[in-house]
C-alpha cells in the first residue's frame, strides 16, 4: 500500500470540472427503474504534477427521470526527492482507488454533495450517493 505523504507535498489544488444534469421525459411510468452509479478515475503526469480526474455518473435503467455527471480534478505536486523513475513506476489510478487517501475522499464527498443538491431541486428527497468509490 502506497503512502501518499511520501510522494506529494502537503498542499494540493482541486476544482469542479463538469456538472451535467439532464431531465429525461419518458413514458416509462409503470416500469421498474434501476438506479445506477458509475465512477471513473483517470490520471496523467505533467512535469512534476499528477493530474487526477474523478467522475461520477448517476442514471436510471431504463432511461428515465434524469441523468447526472459530476467531475472534479485534483492537481498533486510531487516532492523534489521523488525522481521520474519512481513517479512512472506507480499505477496512480489503481493506487488512488485502492488506498484510502484524503485526495479522493475530498472530491468524492463534494461530488456527492453536488448530486444531492441537484436531485433535491425537483422537490423530492435528495439522492445521497456514497462518499467513496463505487465499483461497478
pLDDT by residue (tens digit) across 8-60?
Answer: 999 999 999 999 999 998 876 667 899 999 999 999 999 999 999 999 999 99
Rg (CA), the chain: 18
Closest C-alpha among 112, 64, 87, 125 to residue 4: 87
Sheet of 34-46: strand order equals 8-24, 65-78, 49-61, 34-46
Q: Which are the contacts of 85, defined by CB distance < 8 A and separation ≥ 6?
A: none
Instruction: Kindly state the cell numbers that stand for 75.
Output: 492537481
The pTM assigned to this predicted structure is: 0.92
C-alpha cell at 118: 441537484
Q: pLDDT tens digits for 76-88?
A: 999 999 999 999 9
Amino acid at each position: 500500500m502506497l503512502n501518499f505523504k511520501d510522494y506529494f507535498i502537503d498542499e494540493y489544488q482541486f476544482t469542479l470540472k463538469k456538472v451535467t444534469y439532464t431531465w429525461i421525459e419518458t413514458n416509462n411510468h409503470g416500469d421498474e427503474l434501476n438506479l445506477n452509479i458509475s465512477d471513473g478515475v483517470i490520471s496523467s503526469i505533467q512535469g512534476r504534477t499528477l493530474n487526477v480526474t474523478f467522475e461520477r455518473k448517476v442514471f436510471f435503467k431504463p432511461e428515465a427521470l434524469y441523468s447526472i455527471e459530476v467531475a472534479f480534478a485534483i492537481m498533486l505536486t510531487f516532492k523534489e526527492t521523488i525522481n521520474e523513475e519512481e513517479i512512472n513506476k506507480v499505477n496512480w489510478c489503481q493506487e488512488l482507488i485502492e488506498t484510502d487517501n484524503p485526495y479522493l475522499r475530498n472530491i468524492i464527498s463534494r461530488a456527492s454533495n453536488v448530486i444531492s443538491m441537484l436531485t433535491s431541486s425537483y422537490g423530492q428527497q435528495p439522492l445521497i450517493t456514497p462518499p467513496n468509490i463505487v465499483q461497478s
